[in-house]
Amino acid sequence: MTLQNRGAVEFVDLSLRDGQQSLLATRMSTDQILDVMPHILDTGVKTMEVWGGATLDSAMRFLYENPFDRLHRMSELARPYGCGLRTLSRGQNLFGYDPYPDDIVSDFNRAAVEAGTTVMRIFDALNYIPNYMAALEGVRKAGGIFEGAVCYSTGKPYNTEYFVSKALELEAAGADLIADKDMAGLKDPVSAWALYTALKARLKVPVVSHTHCTPGYGHICALVAMLAGVDKIDTCFLPFAGGSSHPSIEIMSLFAEILGLDTGLDLSPARLEPVHAKLAKTVAECEEKFSLPKVHRSIWPGRDALAPLAESTLDALAAGRIDSALESVHRMEELCGFPPPNEAVRKSQIPGGMYSNFKNQLAKDGKSEYMERALEAVREVREMAGWVPLVTPTSQIVGVKAYFVALGKEADPIQYINLIAGRYGETPFPIDPEYRLRVCGHREERRYDPSGFDRSIPALPGTDFKIAESEQERLLYYLFPDSSGKAYLEKLTKERYGDRIAEEEARREKARLEKMQRMRDEAVLNRFSDSMGALSERLSEAMSILSTDEDPSTNALIKEAAEYTDI
């Protein structure tokens, strides 16, 4: 593996989106982002991924922030630097499980570009090309750049040709860039070289490499991508790199320097130190405020400490000594304070988050002894389900089904039924029609019908005020109707119409009190009327008795009483 004929490489910074999502559960506030962002921009990065993924939900759920406002403010900050902003989104599913109508998918992507996104990276969990098309339409309407991502996966039917063919389909559909999205970081160096050299040889558009460091392949695969001539490589700044996050931009820049590749970056101590200090401060603040698990505390030991190891890594790759190259890279990671490779994830060939969820759920249920069986069940379920890649939402769908299989339960969750039925799209490899019949009750594929999608916007309870008025607010409600979006928009509506809501509540309270007073008054009158009626009856009886008395004085008294009571 030696350097192909190129002179430059671009490192994309993911610190403020996937970096913080991987390590800090996406808890960075807009203020924290805007505080560190100028220092990142000062290093000369030309593309930053800052939006999409879990950032929309987290901003509303935990921080009570408007995701579109955040994107707009980041765009205003980045524009003078000439830095583009990237957003990650799924195709037809956007941020939910069920597919959305084409117009909503298109509108969201258009709105994201209009709010400040430069590049929309779109992926589909099934790599089903029709699921990309509505998003592509929306990006084109707003004049954005469409980056089509092919989800990498392992399993016996997958090979280099499969991924290249999907990339070619996306290029033919109109993608401006093609990304290899290895969401679990499972690609080994040999597979990476085969894939990246093939992509560069057969695609006309630029190629982007995306991977994670969890199982220990992140940095070396990013290096292999660079050697193979890949145009852009996803990275993060320390301390948001490594572990379950991405390759370090500092380490990758060192490799580029040794190889003579121009990155256009200034990573001098004067530029790096403010970035490192502010990101480290953010880690500590988020961990404390949200009671997050402690993450590794990575540091930059400096170029001189790592350069000999970087050179030995390149020498080993050139000689085909992959294991030696891996050892050198892992030593570099150790010096930076990264955690060691997660061997359990590497062996199980599933994403780190999925592995952790299995482990935690089984322990919670007192079933930890089923862990090995659960990992076996993942492969079995994937095979029956058309070897779907393990990325949102398929990783959750397969994970739940595999959990039931491991415990010997025959349950088929509704999302799994929909996956087998074909409602999410065509799986990478065919599903046995007889298996579909057993699970779904029919042999043929059935696509999801979005015609019944509920477009109504509810009013704030107790008022006539709709909780979403602008297009952006309506989109947030459609994307998160039963969770963070609805709660955020209800709170926003209360603030927006606070005075009018207070006046309306006061009017209703006054009406309620007046009604209660009328009811009390009516009750008193009714009781008085009943009492007077009873008195009249008793007087009538008394006068009837007295009328039989022939005493003149008595008759006079009766006459006087009759006149007085009008009887």
Give the pLDDT of residue 2.
77
Q: Which own/partner contact pairs does 67-71 have at CB distance under 8 Å and 24+ positions apart?
A: 67/476, 68/111, 68/115, 68/472, 68/476, 69/30, 70/30, 70/33, 71/112, 71/115, 71/116, 71/117
Give the pLDDT of residue 546.
57
Instruction: Give 183 or 546, the one with higher predicted confidence.
Output: 183
Average pLDDT of the segment spanning 175-187: 96
Give the pLDDT of residue 551.
59
Among 12, 45, 10, 48, which Cα is nearest to 226's? 10
pLDDT band at 538 (very low <50, low <70, confident <90, very high): low
Among 359, 325, 320, which Cα is nearest to 342's? 359
pLDDT band at 326 (very low <50, low <70, confident <90, very high): very high
Contacts of 143 (CB under 8 A, 6+ apart): 113
Contacts of 313 (CB under 8 A, 6+ apart): 220, 223, 255, 325, 328, 329, 332
Instruction: Give percent above pLDDT 90 in the chain.
Output: 75
The chain-wide mean pLDDT, for the chain, equals: 91
Distance CA 325, CA 220 (A): 8
Residue 56 has pLDDT above 60, yes or no: yes
Tell me the C-alpha to C-alpha distance, in Å, between residue 4 and each of 120, 200, 222, 231.
28, 10, 14, 12
pLDDT band at 462 (very low <50, low <70, confident <90, very high): confident
In the chain, the amino acid numbered 210 is: H
Q: Any idea which of 60-74, 135-149, 421-435, 523-537 has the lowest mean pLDDT? A: 523-537
Distance CA 195, CA 202 (A): 11
Q: Which residues does residue 80 pair with via DSSP β-bridges, in sequence order? A: none
Q: Quick check: 115 and 138 in contact, CB under 8 A?
A: no
Length reported for the chain? 567
* 10-263+270-340 under CATH 1.10.260.40, yes or no: no
Q: In what helix (H) or strand (E) does residue 149 lie, and over which residues does it extend? A: strand 145-151
Structure-token pair, residue 411: 């349950």
Instruction: Give percent above pLDDT 70 in the chain.
Output: 93
Distance CA 548, CA 40 (A): 112
> How large is the angle between the packed helices 371-384 and 352-364, nearest 10 degrees?
130
Q: In what helix (H) or strand (E) does residue 499 lie, and over which residues does it extend? A: helix 498-546
Hey, what CATH topology would domain 347-450 get?
Cyclin A; domain 1 (1.10.472)
The residue behind tokens 């996956």 is 419
Q: Quick check: 323 and 334 in contact, CB under 8 A?
A: no
Question: Mind listing the pLDDT tens digit for each residue in 212-233?
Answer: 999 999 999 999 999 999 999 9
pLDDT band at 378 (very low <50, low <70, confident <90, very high): very high
Average pLDDT of the segment spanning 120-147: 98
Give the pLDDT of residue 422.
95
Residue 130 has pLDDT above 70, yes or no: yes
Structure-token pair, residue 320: 């085909």
Give the pLDDT of residue 156.
86
Residue 567 has pLDDT above 50, yes or no: no
The residue behind tokens 């991405």 is 246
Structure-token pair, residue 1: 């593996």
Give the pLDDT of residue 82.
97
First to last CA, the chain: 120
Question: Mind listing the pLDDT tens digit for each residue in 91-104?
Answer: 999 988 889 999 99
Question: Mind listing the pLDDT tens digit for each residue in 385-430?
Answer: 999 999 989 999 999 999 999 999 988 999 999 999 999 999 999 9
Strand ranges, E, within 23-133: 47-52, 84-90, 119-123
**DSSP class of 370:** G
Average pLDDT of the segment spanning 141-169: 96
Among 43, 56, 60, 69, which Cα is nearest to 17's? 56
Residue 258 has pLDDT above 60, yes or no: yes
What is this structure's pTM? 0.87
Helices (H) and strands (E) in the chain, counts: 23, 8
